[in-house]
């Protein structure tokens, strides 16, 4: 079965750029979505269709997807961006989530 892999944690300094990756075989041929989840809250969609931002999501959030890796990029990281981030793909009839990456802004 198809799998996607994320690093468990990423640390970034305030104001710097954070990159969170999601890896899977030929992932670039699939559409990737990204979710942000803060403690005690449901996930929030921040990127869909590899690069698109839903309304209300800051321009600081961007996405890319090529080859075997999709990347969520946060420019100008803020302490409010501290959260778990999950990638998600749709493989035939199955939805697959990555294991999540905990972003620390420190």
Site of interaction with another protein (CB under 8 A):
1, 30-33, 35, 37, 42-45, 48-50, 52, 54, 84, 86, 88-90, 93-100
CA within 13 Å, CB half, 57:
20
Smaller CB distance to another protein: residue 50 or 81?
50
The dihedral formed by the CA atoms of 7, 13, 14 and 15, expressed in degrees to the nearest 10: -90
Of 94, 97, 93, 89, which is closest to residue 43 (Cα–Cα)?
97
Compute the least distance from the CB of residue 73 to another protein, in Å: 18
Smaller CB distance to another protein: residue 25 or 76?
25
């Amino acid at each position: 079965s198809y799998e996607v892999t994320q690093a468990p944690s990423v640390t970034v300094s305030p104001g710097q750029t954070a990159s969170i990756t999601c890896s899977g075989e030929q992932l670039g041929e699939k559409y990737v979505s990204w979710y942000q989840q803060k403690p005690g809250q449901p996930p929030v969609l921040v990127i869909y269709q590899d690069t698109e931002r839903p309304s209300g999501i800051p321009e600081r959030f961007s996405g890319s997807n090529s080859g075997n890796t999709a990347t969520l990029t946060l420019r100008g990281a803020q302490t409010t961006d501290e959260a778990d981030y999950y990638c998600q793909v749709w493989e035939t009839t199955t939805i697959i989530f990555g294991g999540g990456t905990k972003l620390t802004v420190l």
